[in-house]
Structure 1
Amino acid sequence: MKSFLAALLAILVSVTARAADMPVKAPAALPPPYNWSGFYLGANVGGAWTSGSLNIPGNNLYGGLTEFIGGVQAGYNFQAGHLLFGVEGDFDGATFGHPVLPTPTLGSVSQNWIGTVAGRVGLVEDRWLFYTKLGGGWVRSNASLNFPGVAWQGSNTSSGWLAGVGIEYGFKANWTLKLEYDYIGLGQWTSPTVPPIPLNRDLQMVKLGANYKFESGLPDTVAPARTAHSAEHSEDEDLAKKSQNPIADLVSVPFQSNTNFNAGPFNRTQEVLNIQPVIPLRINADWNVISRTIMPVISQPSPFFNNNTNGIGDITQQFFFTPTHPGTLIWGVGPVFTVPSASDPILGTGKVLFGPTAVALVTPGHWVIGVLVNNQWSVGGNPLRPPVNAFLAQPFVNYNMAHGWYLTSSPVITANWLAAPGQQWTVPIGGGFGRIFKIGDQPVSANIAGYYNVVRPTGTPSWQLRAELSLLFPER
């Protein structure tokens, strides 16, 4: 987790010094700094995992839990200059029923909910808050054991200490976005059996959350600062180009449906709905950080039975550091990581993934042309699951036409470097069309496209139908 924490801390960048005022002009009035004080209420989603062991005599095939978590948090902040003091409590439901290998007959371990109460101490730089947490946590767990000589099941609510670190950003007057890592030291839960079986349950969590502040962070007369970005075009085409740019200064919430045909040995349909909020975070006048989250909701065909498993997959978070005044080439680089949040083992890797990501594009005339790439390696998670070394490249080409219409092609090329030769690459080709329009006063972008995998591993889908609806929130 050292690499993840280093990336988390790197996002908090010092604000650059402002240039001296010209002597012939009065200094421009600076907007008041963001006010973090007051009560707030919010929600979060993320992943949690343990790396403990279930020490069954002669069999240690448990490896730990990975699970999707989601819930609510509430708290109060008191700001004194650049210091912040606060208290926060949260409650998350946890969903993962993990069998003890090699077969479920040996038993299972699951968690139902996680609650924490902690004090927060932070450093504030206008809209940015870097904080640490210290407090306590409670976890409700279930376990069952069923192997020769031992048959037992039980439930337990245990408590432990909590330590965490996070970054929060005020992207609207009453709204903040946060990314947080927590560790709960729970110790062991020992079964009352002969022999006794100790279960290590120390828990790690990564959460992405949003908070509503009941007290505005800005005076009513102050509008959020904007960054100059695009040239003068028609309103529809300008908005279309921003929506097609992964690192544009534009808040958007895409809902992307990927329907993959002929998957698995029974030629079933796989459905992946990606919920992908994109939020620009301002560092200073010269730099932004673009936060891009991907939360998949999956219907996955079984490799053994003629049915599907439904649930949440592993959540991916990307951060792109990008200049606010780029030249002809628009670019961004940063970290990408994936937390093991799958609600069922078949829906995720069971691993914590981390790596670099980058995007580059140009926008000549009516075109938006570029590519997004990343590579992730497994750095934690269940030690019994296979390691991961995965590459992704997504070239995109868009041509914008009159009345908000556009043509689009954005195939997702992937490679599993650890797969057998001839089974590593998935390479699709195809494209489609879309349009920018409004539903009432809400700008949206909708498109539909089809792709055929000209190169693919055995048993993976051959065709994909992609449909996307994006809610766009341009500054007014």
Structure 2
Amino acid sequence: MYGGLSEFIGGIQAGYNFQAGHILFGVEGEFDGATFAHPALPTPTLGSVRQNWIGTVAGRVGLVADRWLVYAKFGGGWVNSNAILNFPGVSWSGSNTSSGWLAGAGLEYGFKSNWTVRLEYDYLGLANWTSSTVPSISLNRDLQMVKAGINYKFVSGLPDSAAPTRTASPAHTADHEDLAKQSQNPIADLVSLPFQSNTNFNAGPFNRAQEVLNIQPVVPLRINADWNMISRTIIPVISQPSPIFDSNTNGIGDITQSLFFSPAHPGALIWGAGPVFTIPSATDPILGTGRVLLGPTAVFLTTPGHWVIGVLLNNQWSVGGNPLRPPVNTFLAQPFVNYNLAGGWYLTSSPIITADWLAPSGQRWTVPIGGGFGRIFKIGDQPVSASIAGYYNVARPTGTPDWQLRTFFSLLFPEK
């Protein structure tokens, strides 16, 4: 196989752990659906291999320290693939399930008594698949996987009371405004699961609607008594208008991960800074850049009286990925202003300003203005935040949407 592509996989896992002191032993299985194909010959038009599903079983051993677990894992896996070869004198397709060995390592953190998040790297070495053609083609399907996950433990770990001290007002006071301020702070020590729907109108030559649903889990991780690290992931589910046909392409876009290092006990100015990177996980070329992006990110805010005022900034450059795709150099600034009212209601404005530094000077900037309103409330015992807002792009590249409707719904998990 000649090279490959980085794409999106997703699935479920289950396992069993046994802890003796600071040492953990476990076994786990995983099943993932795959959505990617990679070239089997120098050009995809001559041949490609498509992965359909991936299954693994592995044992793991790790070192536990407070809420952190560092571990290694070893085992085996199976991959089901389809292949197509089509070049002069050869037309062949086939399906095959192959097994191989698995090695990996990861980092896991218990953010609540029954919940953990993890980041893991796995290498799955598979036997070559030789086509029944003349001449035969050897297809190498080795996989490298970077996986982020969230797990529920049926036996709790540390009690919720062992959680780090909040950087904002304690949520247990049940005060709507305190919880609202935490939910409006991108680097608050508050676990949340936001769903942000961005409907962009009048996109492309056929003036179709582009829909981007961002799934944005935010998990604070305690480093020590003085510092927290806040993990913010953005998984976009996209319906993208075609630039050629009057139709849309649907799928997963490129996934962005931000890590903010923030003081656990800030003063009047709350801040965090760290790296941001984007992986080319799009399930269709039109849904992503095809490049690995990396850069710095930072957020600054203050919370005087009923206000939450701040800005989130980042810039990313392409540092890898498909060399046939164009390079990337993009800037993002998201100022946010929230005013909290009685009864959990709040007013909000949070436009997303972007710049493509590689575009012609008159086509670089997208600058929206607008705002909306929202409310903090409960569904049963579950605190949630919901809002709706509209934005008009006063500056935008030609052919891009002119206005946006944004709806927001977030599950909030304050400590008890």
Contact 1:226 1:475 in 2 (8 A): no
SS in 2 for 1:67: coil
SS in 1 for 2:112: coil
Q: What corresponds to 2:10 in structure 1?
A: 70
Instruction: Tell me the distance in 1 between the aligned counterparts of 2:85 and 2:297.
Output: 43
Instruction: Tell me the distance in 2 between the aligned counterparts of 1:427 and 1:310.
Output: 26
Say if 2:310 is the partner of 1:402. Answer: no
Say if 2:308 is the partner of 1:368. Answer: yes
**Alpha carbons of structure 1 residues 101 and 433: separation in structure 2 relative to 1, 3 Å:** farther
Instruction: Tell me the distance in 2 between the aligned counterparts of 1:417 and 1:201.
Output: 37
| Match 1:223 to one of 158, 161, 164 | 161
Offset from partner CA, 1:327-351 (integer Å, 9 cap, x none): 0110111222222222222212223
Say if 2:408 is the partner of 1:464. Answer: no
Partner amino acid for 1:85?
F
Q: What corresponds to 2:190 in structure 1?
A: 250
Contact 2:49 2:81 in 1 (8 A): yes
| Structure that is richer in strand per residue | 2
Contact 2:40 2:139 in 1 (8 A): no
Q: What corresponds to 1:186 in structure 2?
A: 126
SS in 1 for 2:85: strand
Partner amino acid for 1:201?
R
Instruction: Tell me the distance in 2 between the aligned counterparts of 1:291 and 1:451.
Output: 27
What are the residue-to-residue correspondences of 1:20-169 with 2, within 5 Å? 53=2, 64-97=4-37, 106-169=46-109
SS in 1 for 2:161: coil
What are the residue-to-residue correspondences of 1:436-447 with 2, within 5 Å? 436-447=376-387
Partner amino acid for 2:224?
N
Instruction: Tell me the distance in 2 between the aligned counterparts of 1:321 and 1:234.
Output: 27
Q: What corresponds to 2:221 in structure 1?
A: 281
Q: What corresponds to 1:26 in structure 2?
A: none
Range moving further from structure 2, 462-471 or 437-446: 437-446
Contact 2:163 2:415 in 1 (8 A): no
| Match 1:264 to one of 197, 201, 204 | 204
Instruction: Tell me the distance in 2 between the aligned counterparts of 1:121 and 1:415.
Output: 45
Runs of 4+ in 1 over 4 A off after TM superposition: 97-105, 231-234
Partner amino acid for 1:419?
A
Q: What corresponds to 1:322 in structure 2?
A: 262
Partner amino acid for 1:193?
T
Say if 2:323 is the partner of 1:383. Answer: yes
Deviation at 1:305, TM superposition (A): 0.7
Instruction: Tell me the distance in 2 between the aligned counterparts of 1:103 and 1:170.
Output: 45
Deviation at 1:97, TM superposition (A): 4.8
| Match 2:241 to one of 295, 301, 306 | 301
Q: What corresponds to 1:455 in structure 2?
A: 395
Say if 2:110 is the partner of 1:170. Answer: yes
Instruction: Tell me the distance in 2 between the aligned counterparts of 1:165 and 1:419.
Output: 40
Instruction: Tell me the distance in 2 between the aligned counterparts of 1:93 and 1:155.
Output: 16
Instruction: Tell me the distance in 2 between the aligned counterparts of 1:282 and 1:422.
Output: 44
Contact 2:384 2:409 in 1 (8 A): yes
Deviation at 1:355, TM superposition (A): 2.2
Instruction: Tell me the distance in 2 between the aligned counterparts of 1:178 and 1:398.
Output: 32
SS in 2 for 1:223: helix
SS in 2 for 1:239: helix
Structure 1, gaps ≥5 residues long? 1-51, 54-62
Instruction: Tell me the distance in 2 between the aligned counterparts of 1:409 and 1:418.
Output: 28
| Match 1:347 to one of 287, 293, 306 | 287
Offset from partner CA, 1:33-66 (integer Å, 9 cap, x none): xxxxxxxxxxxxxxxxxxx51xxxxxxxxx5233
Instruction: Tell me the distance in 2 between the aligned counterparts of 1:443 and 1:278.
Output: 15
Offset from partner CA, 1:141-197 (integer Å, 9 cap, x none): 111122322111011222333222211011122211111122223364332323333
Deviation at 1:262, TM superposition (A): 0.9
Deviation at 1:322, TM superposition (A): 1.1
Deviation at 1:231, TM superposition (A): 4.8
Instruction: Tell me the distance in 1 between the aligned counterparts of 2:158 and 2:166.
Output: 21
Deviation at 1:419, TM superposition (A): 2.7
Contact 2:168 2:181 in 1 (8 A): no
Higher relative contact order (CA 8 A, sep 6+): 1
Deviation at 1:67, TM superposition (A): 2.5
**Alpha carbons of structure 1 residues 443 and 234: separation in structure 2 relative to 1, 3 Å:** closer
Deviation at 1:435, TM superposition (A): 1.6
Contact 2:112 2:163 in 1 (8 A): no
The alignment's TM-score, normalised by the length of structure 1, stands at 0.81
Partner amino acid for 1:366?
H
Instruction: Tell me the distance in 2 between the aligned counterparts of 1:168 and 1:420.
Output: 44
**Alpha carbons of structure 1 residues 211 and 182: separation in structure 2 relative to 1, 3 Å:** same
Partner amino acid for 2:131?
S
SS in 1 for 2:259: strand
**Alpha carbons of structure 1 residues 75 and 320: separation in structure 2 relative to 1, 3 Å:** same
Partner amino acid for 2:121?
Y
The alignment's TM-score, normalised by the length of structure 2, stands at 0.92
Q: What corresponds to 2:373 in structure 1?
A: 433
SS in 1 for 2:309: strand
Instruction: Tell me the distance in 1 between the aligned counterparts of 2:45 and 2:329.
Output: 32
Instruction: Tell me the distance in 1 between the aligned counterparts of 2:127 and 2:323.
Output: 19
Instruction: Tell me the distance in 2 between the aligned counterparts of 1:257 and 1:203.
Output: 33
Instruction: Tell me the distance in 1 between the aligned counterparts of 2:288 and 2:390.
Output: 25
SS in 2 for 1:422: helix
Instruction: Tell me the distance in 1 between the aligned counterparts of 2:206 and 2:138.
Output: 41
**Alpha carbons of structure 1 residues 423 and 183: separation in structure 2 relative to 1, 3 Å:** farther
Structure 2, gaps ≥5 residues long? none
Instruction: Tell me the distance in 2 between the aligned counterparts of 1:334 and 1:416.
Output: 21
